[in-house]
Structure 1
């Protein structure tokens, strides 16, 4: 029973990360479309945001295996 709850928790963490990545890159594309010369700055911010959001998914996977 507890194992299935851990997998549900990981699934929720993965869905949250997918939504976060979508929002980050949607904002990046919108920003570059409005002001193309800001691309280098926005590129760094988008990649940093992507890395942080994906770290949350990895932590969710780790906690799903640790907590039993």
Structure 2
């Protein structure tokens, strides 16, 4: 009986620690994308694509609200289906 409780406790700890890592990554992208999209005329669309790009590029989002894409080559080089830039 004690062994089952210990096993369940370990499983619970592992699951909660992996959840904390995921939520931390999302919040760092969200904060960076909030800044990046703060002056965008289509704010919600900008946030959507910025967060997609940020996750694909391991949390890299260029500084400022426009330009500076050379800071994050991955972010800069992602393309949409028409060959244009995907990331705002």
Match of 1:59 in 2: none
Instruction: Using structure 2 for the length normalisation, give the TM-score.
Output: 0.43
User: Partners of 1:42 and 1:29 in 2: how far apart?
Assistant: 7
| Gap regions ≥5 residues in structure 2 | 1-5, 56-88
User: Partners of 2:32 and 2:19 in 1: how far apart?
Assistant: 20
Aligned-CA RMSD value: 2.5
| Gap regions ≥5 residues in structure 1 | 50-68
> Higher Cα Rg: structure 1 or 2?
2
Instruction: Using structure 1 for the length normalisation, give the TM-score.
Output: 0.53
1:24 equivalenced with 2:29 (yes/no): yes
Provide the aligned length of Structure 1 versus Structure 2: 48
Residue deviations 1:10-32 (CA, integer Å, cap 9, x gap) = 01011111111111110110101
Q: Which has the higher helix share?
A: 1
